[in-house]
Structure 1
Amino acid sequence: MCGEAYVLPLSFMALWVRPDEFHQTFNFRYLDSEWKPEILFRSINESFEAFDSVGAPSTWVLSNHDIIRHASRMGGVTGRPTASDGIGPNDPQPDRELGLRRARGATLFTLGLPGSTYLYQGEELGLPEHTTLEGKYRQDPTFARTGGARVGRDGCRVPLPWEAGVGAANGFNESGLAWLPQPELYAEYSRDQQEGVTGSTLELYKQALALRKTLRIGEGSFAWLPQFTNERALGYRNGDVLVIHNFGTDALPLPRGKILVASQSGLVEGQLLDPDQTVWIAI
């Protein structure tokens, strides 16, 4: 049983997951880190300190049904994710390429952490937010209650694309109809366009999740890597795996070791890690 409770500080939230309480609770502190190294560093430390104190696993999450999808959020949307009003057609539009690159790196960094990771439907496809949804389709009460001043959460609740071009909903169902229409660009994110395609976001998720299970990452350990803990990078060790993310603007030299998985397509040992990318290295 998992509590969807926005309770801070985490030392207070940890009281909800004592042995006779909930099994887990969502970690909104981590979700609200805005993907900045200094905030992430503090939130990860706070998470382990709080949940370890009651013998509960920490949880990690980047997207859910109430906030802008992180593939769009990381493409230029600023501010605390849980305080967002959503993105509408008249708002500045996120950079899709930048957002997806950062989202892939963020996911791989997160999946390397010990504890439990929660994935939101569609992020395995790299789905962006539906940011151009017309008002006539919106169903979130937030939109109606504020007269459209806040567009709300419908943009992250659009049905998933399965087969490109199969009906208006890209194979989501046989009728082609859905409670929220997909944007045209969702066709290129469809499962059938990514399955088995080297370097696709779907295959990255499948590879990382398989490794996480095989290497028992969720049951592992955690220690920061001092040489990769600064404004340019964050890195940690989980068992015999190094996880390193490049927050800088220049490519990052990496320690020796076998590359297990990387958000940077085609990365091999001896190469540099590009900005916004994450790698797992076996030592």
Structure 2
Amino acid sequence: MTATANDIDWWRDAVVYQVYIRSFADGNGDGVGDIAGLRGKLGHLARLGVDAIWINPWYPSPLADGGYDVADYRAINPAFGDTAQAEALLREAHERGIKVLLDIVPNHHSDEHEWFQAALRAAPGSPERERYVFRDGRGPDGAQPPNNWESMFGGPAWERVPDGQWYLHLFDVKQPDVNWNSAEVRDDFETTLRFWFDRGVDGFRIDVANSMIKQDGLPDVVEGVNDEQDGNHPYLDRDEVHDIYRSWRRIADSYDPPKVYVAEAWVPDPERLARYLRPDELQTAFSFNFLRAAWLAPDLKENITEAIAENDAVGAPATWVLSNHDVARHVSRLARKPESGRGYQLDDLLDLPADLDLGLRRARAATLLMLALPGTAYLYQGEELGLPEAENIPTDQLDDPTWVLSGHTKRGRDGCRVPLPWSGSSPPYGFGGSSWLPQPPEFAACVADTLDADPESILHLYRDALMLRKAHPALGGGELTWKDSPEGTLAFTREPGFTALVNVSSAPVSLPEDAEVMLTSGPLTRYGAVPADTTVWLRHA
């Protein structure tokens, strides 16, 4: 059967829900989320109104980095289920009209991958070691790392093996970088793409999509010279990476309907990010500058405008996101002063006072802003419940490798990965028999069953917004036109007949006289004006 235009272009205006599978739902009561739990909650996702789900790595892994240390790319971690259950999930999701994206991790393997174990047994210079980045050390006895590169998690990016050579790990020591100059590596990843595409997977999110290629000679990073992602960094956003994605795109386009990719590429320059989205490369890439923007009207407008312009230049939609498994939940980020200039992870925020009621109000407004923008939107599991970051997990229960590799100075990302609260009034809130990370007291106000019974809850706001987004002809793809509005606010129209008004920090703003209110992120004033930290969707003639 030939694919329709809607089948081919579904990703241009889709709403995709990210499933961090360890923490979504536990189907067998062992305290760890799994495929059975996800299958049991497909009704929740269908009622929410999402078009697709993206599942974080579900492959066999020692879980040194939450599954991003993959030991076998063409199998299922037994803790999550098996291939038969995965195929059943794909079938059941598709029956509900929900597409499925998986996560692929091309920069590194687990050190328990059979290839890396073979490399450790092999001699320097062997074909087995050619699959990875092994080098001799510096100094007369090779006792110093080959260069000054540092791990993203802290500490040196090199580990020495017993025969004296060193291997590169830009992330955890248990995540050796693969060598993308190896034809064998390239062929193996292409085999993995086809393996899952042939089983019905609709696409892939590509982990650290800008980091796979390393500069010949592996030179030091020189501060002030090549520490920016401008094409000259030794291992970030190098131009050669685009050859990989041209090959991957040809594979995706060989299917009917074509498969789709979304790049996780933390590339600050919108023009360079857009290069990943040229017509023969990837279809979408997260606009992380929007996630990082302060809750200030000028910052939001600037980042939205830049992202749309650069994506339009290559014919690609912008891809918006507020939270994911690597950043502090936006309820807690927005609970801090927007002018603080801090980052987007918990460790950047801990010393700032937080007002979670304010954070939730802003989060509701930010969500309606994001869902009114042209392009694709990604939701992170639990944001429809208004979950805050779990900021006080006992240190003896932290799982993120950042905690250890930073010398116990950074708590890392566990606070956004805590299992979801589904029902009941106490932990584990219906997640399963227990929960592998402790749920904070704040989750008691965010239980899905309770929110479902409250028509004013954030869960109903998400459902209403997604329903309107699908029904209104102006929303999804298309163009945006900014309108003049008071300082501290944003206003834009989308045709036909839609206006969004976002009061970020202004005094209450009156609504246009000819506009009909379709949805608000929070209550209007007694006189019908829009207060600060509130977004309104309007219908106009």
How does the TM-score come out when normalised to structure 2? 0.49
Superposition deviation, residue 120 in structure 1: 0.7
**Where does residue 102 of structure 1 map in the other structure?**
362
**Where does residue 253 of structure 1 map in the other structure?**
510
**Where does residue 231 of structure 1 map in the other structure?**
487
Pair 1:184 & 2:441 matched: yes
Of the three residues 284, 297, 300, the one matched with 1:37 is 297
**Where does residue 65 of structure 1 map in the other structure?**
325
Of the three residues 499, 505, 513, the one matched with 1:242 is 499
SS for the counterpart of 2:360 is: helix
CA distance in structure 2 between the aligned counterparts of 1:244 and 1:15, rounded to whole angstroms: 32
Superposition deviation, residue 92 in structure 1: 4.3
How does the TM-score come out when normalised to structure 1? 0.92
Following superposition, which runs of at least 4 residues in structure 1 exceed 6 angstroms of deviation? none
**Where does residue 428 of structure 2 map in the other structure?**
169
The one-character-per-residue Cα deviations of 1:65-94 (angstroms, maximum 9, x if unpaired) are 111111010011633434652566xx4452
In the alignment, is the contact (CA less than 8 A) between 1:163 and 1:190 conserved in 2?
yes
Of the three residues 404, 409, 412, the one matched with 1:144 is 404
**Equivalent residue letter for 1:188:** A
**Where does residue 28 of structure 1 map in the other structure?**
288
CA distance in structure 1 between the aligned counterparts of 2:349 and 2:526, rounded to whole angstroms: 40
Q: Please identify, of 246-255 and 101-110, the stretch whose mean Cα deviation from structure 2 is larger.
A: 246-255
Pair 1:275 & 2:532 matched: yes
**Equivalent residue letter for 1:211:** L
Of the three residues 502, 518, 521, the one matched with 1:263 is 521
CA distance in structure 2 between the aligned counterparts of 1:53 and 1:272, rounded to whole angstroms: 37
**Equivalent residue letter for 2:490:** L
CA distance in structure 1 between the aligned counterparts of 2:262 and 2:424, rounded to whole angstroms: 34
In the alignment, is the contact (CA less than 8 A) between 1:17 and 1:25 conserved in 2?
yes
* Distance change in 2, residues 1:244/1:8 (3 Å): same
CA distance in structure 1 between the aligned counterparts of 2:302 and 2:329, rounded to whole angstroms: 23
SS for the counterpart of 1:2 is: strand
Structure 1 residues 195-234: aligned runs within 5 Å:
195-216=452-473, 217-226=475-484, 228=485, 230-234=486-490
CA distance in structure 2 between the aligned counterparts of 1:249 and 1:54, rounded to whole angstroms: 35
In the alignment, is the contact (CA less than 8 A) between 1:86 and 1:151 conserved in 2?
no
Q: Give 5+ residue unaligned stretches, structure 2.
A: 1-260
Superposition deviation, residue 197 in structure 1: 1.2
**Equivalent residue letter for 1:258:** E
CA distance in structure 2 between the aligned counterparts of 1:86 and 1:200, rounded to whole angstroms: 29
The one-character-per-residue Cα deviations of 1:168-209 (angstroms, maximum 9, x if unpaired) are 210011x1x222110122122010111141210000010001
The share of aligned pairs that are identical, in percent, is 40
Of the three residues 81, 104, 107, the one matched with 2:343 is 81
CA distance in structure 1 between the aligned counterparts of 2:527 and 2:279, rounded to whole angstroms: 46
RMSD: 1.8
In the alignment, is the contact (CA less than 8 A) between 2:510 and 2:529 conserved in 1?
yes
* Distance change in 2, residues 1:249/1:224 (3 Å): closer
In the alignment, is the contact (CA less than 8 A) between 2:451 and 2:458 conserved in 1?
yes
CA distance in structure 1 between the aligned counterparts of 2:487 and 2:346, rounded to whole angstroms: 25
**Where does residue 12 of structure 1 map in the other structure?**
272
Q: Give 5+ residue unaligned stretches, structure 1.
A: none
Of the three residues 310, 313, 316, the one matched with 1:56 is 316
In the alignment, is the contact (CA less than 8 A) between 1:86 and 1:152 conserved in 2?
no
CA distance in structure 2 between the aligned counterparts of 1:9 and 1:218, rounded to whole angstroms: 25
Which entry has the higher C-alpha Rg, 1 or 2? Answer: 2
Superposition deviation, residue 2 in structure 1: 0.3
* Distance change in 2, residues 1:180/1:87 (3 Å): farther
CA distance in structure 2 between the aligned counterparts of 1:202 and 1:81, rounded to whole angstroms: 27
Of the three residues 119, 128, 135, the one matched with 2:388 is 128
SS for the counterpart of 2:530 is: coil
**Where does residue 193 of structure 1 map in the other structure?**
450
**Equivalent residue letter for 2:478:** G
CA distance in structure 1 between the aligned counterparts of 2:439 and 2:390, rounded to whole angstroms: 7
**Equivalent residue letter for 1:254:** L
**Equivalent residue letter for 2:357:** E
